[in-house]
Amino acid sequence: MKKILAICSFLLSLNAFAQSTLTMPEASPKASVTQRIGLTDITVNYHSPAVKERTVWGGLVPYNKIWRAGANENTTISFTNDVSVNGKPLPAGTYGLHMIPTEKNWTIIFSKNYTSWGSYFYKQEEDALRVEVTPKQHQHTEWLTYTFFDKSANSATLSLLWEKLDIPITIDVDVTTVVVNNIKNELRSTPGFTWQGYYEAADYCYHNNIETEQALAWVERANSFSPNNFSGLKLKANLLEVKGEKEEAEKVSKEAVQYATEDELNSYGYELITANKLDKALEIFKLNVKRNPKSWNAYDSYGEALSKKGNTKEAIKAYNDALKNTPPDTQMARIKETIKKLQEAK
């Protein structure tokens, strides 16, 4: 009898050991997908089952019951910053992703509990957010897949694709707020010891038309590191103009021009053209020619601005001056062709 018990005990031990020794492929492989929106990373971790000629919706996945939105353990979704899901706010963090499928609209659930197995231990009181979505028809997808569509600078659509359905979830990020908060944090580290860090911070705000007062403070700090810097002074002038302080903006702009290189003046001229300030652009290009009388590029740009103004005679003269200053062969043919067209149009 003792021998029989010993053998049974040994077999049970052997069976337990055999179940846990080797790592084998899973029927529903682990998968993940990450999408960045601005500075915000969105990551979905899930297990991907196959259709295998089964009836999925209303069969393998019953209607009107909590579903783990994948296979095996919790499907999880993580956001590194606060987001908006289908127009509703959701704080940064990791959530268990569950769904309630129906024949019409689905309920998408973000649970604060993301460590449980599947949806077996789901509790509604742990919900962080519920939203409703409408599935769409999609070409057959054999393996359950999460992917991102309709991506833009501020949003993306997370889609669950399986069988012949697409379950779309719209995610929006307040990118500028996230970026400004990140800038403030980074300026407390290495970038806070350089003029470039403060300049980049102010420039971001200017081009996104936000935080003008903060941007002015940042550009002042940048200019304290590098006081005779054209880029910093020009940015300050731009920000002052945004504030409506046009006289002060003009004063700082004139100061900036004193320190501009040929390339900086040239770029500034084109920036003014883009802003529909052609007369101001002509002043800058003319100044560039005066400072750099042997630069074919300065004359070339001046000629282009004169042509846009409709001053064909002076434009031809400027282009001829460009030719006299021996432009590269690749540019010479273009300038000659431009002069020809201007003469024909007279």
- Domain assignment present for residue 213? The answer is yes
Please count the CA atoms within 13 angstroms of the CA of 74 that sit on its side-chain side: 18
Cβ burial, residue 50 (10 Å; 0-12/13-18/19+): middle
Question: What are 190's two structure tokens?
Answer: 């290495």
Point out the domain boundary residue: 259, 274, 297: 259
Q: Which of residues 259, 281, 308 is at a domain's end?
A: 259
Looking at the structure, do residues 46 and 166 belong to the same domain, yes or no?
yes
> Given this model, what pLDDT does residue 344 score?
83
Sequence letter at residue 173? V
Number of domains in the chain: 3
Instruction: Output the domain CATH number for residue 320.
Output: 1.25.40.10
Looking at residue 23, its pLDDT comes to 84
One domain for residues 101 and 117 = yes
Q: Are residues 242 and 189 in the same domain?
A: yes
Tokens of 332: 């010479």
pLDDT of residue 345: 80
Q: Where are the beta strands (DSSP E) in the chain?
A: 30-37, 40-47, 76-79, 83-85, 88-90, 93-100, 106-111, 127-133, 136-149, 155-172
291 inside domain: yes
Whether 93 and 199 map to the same domain: the answer is no
pLDDT in tens, the chain (346 residues): 554 544 445 444 444 444 557 888 888 899 999 999 999 999 999 999 999 999 999 999 999 999 999 999 999 999 999 999 999 999 999 999 999 999 999 999 999 999 998 889 999 999 999 999 999 999 999 999 999 999 999 999 999 999 999 999 999 999 999 999 999 999 999 999 999 999 999 999 999 999 999 999 999 999 999 999 999 999 999 999 999 999 999 999 999 999 999 999 999 999 999 999 999 999 999 999 999 999 999 999 999 999 999 999 999 999 999 999 988 888 999 999 999 998 988 7
Question: Using H for helix, E for strand and C for coil, what is the string for 217-279?
Answer: HHHHHHHHHCCCCHHHHHHHHHHHHHCCCHHHHHHHHHHHHHCCCHHHHHHHHHHHHHCCCHH
| 77 domain residue, yes or no | yes
pTM as predicted = 0.83
The pLDDT score that the predictor gives to residue 20 is 56
* Residue 70 lies in domain: 25-173
Q: How many CA atoms lie within 13 A of 24 on its CB side?
A: 7
Of 240, 259, 278, the residue that ends a domain is 259
H-helix or E-strand spanning residue 215 = helix 212-225
